[in-house]
Amino acid sequence: MRTMDEVVERAKESGRRDGPRRIAVAGALDVSLLEAVAEAGRQGIVEAHLVGDRDKILGLWEKLGIGGEEPAVEDVAGDEEICHTVAGLASEGAVDIVMKGFISTSLILRILLSGEYGLRRKRTVSHTAVLGIPGYHKLLIITDGGVVIRPDLEQKCDIIENAVEVSRALGVERPKVVLLGASEVVNQHSGELMESATLAKMCRSARMEGAVVDGPFSFDVAVSRDAAEFQGITSEVAGDADIIAVSSIEEGNIISKTIIEFAGAIFGGLIWGLRLPVSLVSRSDTRMNKMAALSVAAVVSSQLLHEA
């Protein structure tokens, strides 16, 4: 899959083959989210279970004129109780995907990641931003711009493993991973560049079998073959990155949002490392971005089903 349109089509195919993915939406009082959920439902991608104030959710549903069958709504008051209800549904296996709606990101992640519900599948849980960028020849993942603030070396390895799993679920057999840096020249005065060089060596071990990791490379070298050739860099991943791994949450967040705002990218955010995918969107995201996030999560969920 090289575009978000292809991801949506794959999600539809998965829905026809496996049935729609059951999704719990925490705090479903969001106009563009409800529109995306309704569209994904019509296309057989998801079967929605909305959690929150029932009267307000159904009132908004009616106000939007979405039509069709009334959605299933679990009437729950208070953001914390909403998050606990969704986490319980996930723990019981009653849903395949969790999606954040009009609710605090830190709150829902705190509850999902607590030991109370046994949802953590991996040591490190991380955020993958899947971007469909006009002008780039395939989907690009940026990680981690949403969960781990400043990862250490071991966490960075885990974050890359998570992103590689998501990339494979999206059809990339051998993902190419770039470790992002300000320069390709490593020197003892730059701790970040030295750490990236060390990380590249660690990832070339059997631990990262099935992916190719290189760096540090600057952003232009990561995504432009012309830039890589101009600088005399010969690497399998240079100019052809599937995944860009950053050094901090700020770096990942700024890069992703810049690409979205200035390059018109379609964005699907996913939390990975739990027993099920968590679709993480911002309140300001467009309906199209939220549809993309739903589709990415549905494709990954279907892949999990077939690997079980």
Please give the backbone phi and psi of residue 139, each rounded to the nearest 5 degrees, phi first: -65, 150
Kindly state whether residues 255 and 306 are assigned to the same domain: no
AA identity, residue 258: T
Give me the percent of the chain exceeding a pLDDT of 90.
78
At 222-270, the pLDDT tens digits run 999 999 999 999 899 999 999 999 999 999 999 999 999 999 999 999 9
Please give the backbone phi and psi of residue 154, each rounded to the nearest 5 degrees, phi first: -65, -40
Averaged pLDDT, 88-93 = 97
User: Cβ–Cβ contacts within 10 Å for residue 123, how many?
Assistant: 10
Give me the percent of the chain exceeding a pLDDT of 70.
93
Averaged pLDDT, 106-132 = 94
Kindly state whether residues 253 and 280 are assigned to the same domain: no
Kindly state whether residues 263 and 278 are assigned to the same domain: no
User: Is the model's pLDDT at 19 over the cut of 90?
Assistant: yes
AA identity, residue 110: R
Please report, for the domain that includes residue 243, its CATH number: 3.40.718.10
Kindly state whether residues 48 and 64 are assigned to the same domain: yes
Kindly state whether residues 102 and 220 are assigned to the same domain: no
| Average pLDDT score, the chain | 91
Kindly state whether residues 141 and 263 are assigned to the same domain: yes
Averaged pLDDT, 275-282 = 91
Kindly state whether residues 158 and 103 are assigned to the same domain: no
User: Cβ–Cβ contacts within 10 Å for residue 33, how many?
Assistant: 26
- Give the pLDDT score at 26: 97
> Would you place residue 54 in the very low, low, confident or very high pLDDT band (cuts 50, 70, 90)?
very high
User: Is the model's pLDDT at 301 over the cut of 70?
Assistant: yes
> Would you place residue 182 in the very low, low, confident or very high pLDDT band (cuts 50, 70, 90)?
confident
Averaged pLDDT, 87-93 = 97
Higher pLDDT, 48 or 181: 48
User: Is the model's pLDDT at 193 over the cut of 80?
Assistant: no
Averaged pLDDT, 157-184 = 91
Please give the backbone phi and psi of residue 19, each rounded to the nearest 5 degrees, phi first: 90, 155
Averaged pLDDT, 133-138 = 96
Kindly state whether residues 107 and 177 are assigned to the same domain: no
CA–CA distance, 96 with 278 (Å, rounded to integer): 9
Q: Tokens for 251? A: 């770096």
Kindly state whether residues 101 and 201 are assigned to the same domain: no
Kindly state whether residues 105 and 135 are assigned to the same domain: no
Give how far the C-alpha of residue 151 lies from the chain's centroid of Cα atoms, to the nearest Å. Answer: 17
Kindly state whether residues 136 and 264 are assigned to the same domain: yes
pTM of the predicted structure, to 2 decimals: 0.93
| Lowest-confidence pick of 123-127, 181-185, 285-289 | 181-185
- Give the pLDDT score at 307: 74
User: Is the model's pLDDT at 201 over the cut of 80?
Assistant: no
> Would you place residue 188 in the very low, low, confident or very high pLDDT band (cuts 50, 70, 90)?
low
Per-position b or e across 98-120, b if 16+ CB within 10 A of its CB: bbbbbbebebbbebbbeeebebe
Domain that holds residue 260: 129-268
Phi-psi domain of 260 (left: phi exceeds 0; alpha: psi -120 through 50; beta: other): alpha
User: Is the model's pLDDT at 208 over the cut of 90?
Assistant: no
Contacts of 135 (CB under 8 A, 6+ apart): 263
- The tally of domains found in the chain comes to 2
Kindly state whether residues 186 and 205 are assigned to the same domain: yes
37, 45 contact by CB (below 8 A): no
Please report, for the domain that includes residue 107, its CATH number: 3.40.50.10950
